[in-house]
Structure 1
Amino acid sequence: MKILVVDDHALVREGLRQVLKGLDADVDVLEAGLCGRAFELADQHTDLDLVLLDYHLPDMNGLDALDVFARKHPELPIIVLSGSVNPRVIRQVMNKGAAAFLTKSGMSEELLSVTRLVLAGDVYVPPEVMAAMADPSEAGLQAGQPTPQFTPRQEEVLYLLLDGYANKEIGRMLNLSDETVKNHVTAILRGFGVTTRTQAVLAANRHGYVRSQTSDTD
């Protein structure tokens, strides 16, 4: 398991490194003090499993950093950390495609719990903004926007996305090439009018799609 921690304070990075060891003794934690360095590391380590990203960084704020990660590494889940709680910022962060938002004042066990959730393919929406996220005006959806129409195969891919499977896993499960899966995922993102898998999961939930309890494609 490989996780990238992005924070401009060395003590915070070291603290997060120690906490993340609770996931697995062999977890490989990479560190970056600036977004520029974080993007370099993400390009170099294509096997990254997760990014922990501080919202307030000297060279770029969290929203802009999420845009860059979404463009260059759309399948890489990102947990945004912040020292302050601003519901509007949290909504913006989630709508930009973050997999979770946590405050630095939280407990270590909360970080581990949410990290495990995200690594399993889930999205964690803070309870205090769950209701607001469901509001189309807050969630970036136009009121009355119709549910996009997908082909049966695209719906199969969508439900596997909701279950947290990566493209290669979906390809194996549905006997599809990587390129075909990528094309289906692109069509799903386009259908929901979003740019990342996390945004697609949130949009799918708002349109009534729910993840299956068990997959019958195994």
Structure 2
Amino acid sequence: MTPEALARRHPRLYHLTAPAAWESIARLGLLPAAALIERFEPDPARRERLLATRRPAELVLEHPVHGRAALTDNTPLSERALAACLDDGLSPRDWLRLLNRRVFFWSDERGLQRLLGARLNRGRQRLVLVLDTLSLVMAHADCVEISPINSGATIRRPARRGLATFAPLMATDYQAWRRRRGRLDRIVEIVVQGSVPDIERHVVERRIVP
């Protein structure tokens, strides 16, 4: 699938974070949780725990040089439910490591609004970054993946997931991908494996909600 084909289907992408996170995002770029943990946490044992265990609440990291950064929680994910829906011999710790090395974007407003309406987000401010899909994907095409599920949630009949859940955009035949699981899938998440250091170039709007 080409960047142009993806952008025709999903011209805008959406990333949700804490309003206080924008300062570090603007300075460092949009980093996956693993990169933030490795940069901000000097204790190897604590670093390992953060990389491979669920975060029940948003976590603020502080560093004397790098400042502050916020890590989004994993509240919609249950390690017990996750263990029952993983393929390829993966453990919940393995899956959390996979998630923590990626940056996630909703492919449309539908997924974003569902997340904003979740009990977890009611009554607290969120920052929505709206991005130009073509700009972002052209700049990071070799690292972009697509997912047919919300890979960080295991609520209500969680979909099975494994090594093939994140499909490399440039190596994927979209029509074959849609039929791969015996149903017509749609793109739920657009994922960048690694960081997006030039995120400001691709942001077309910033919204504070509610």
Q: TM-score, normalised by structure 2?
A: 0.27
Higher strand share: 2
Q: Determine which structure has the larger helix proportion and give its number.
A: 1
Q: Which has the higher contact order (CA 8 A, sep 6+)?
A: 2
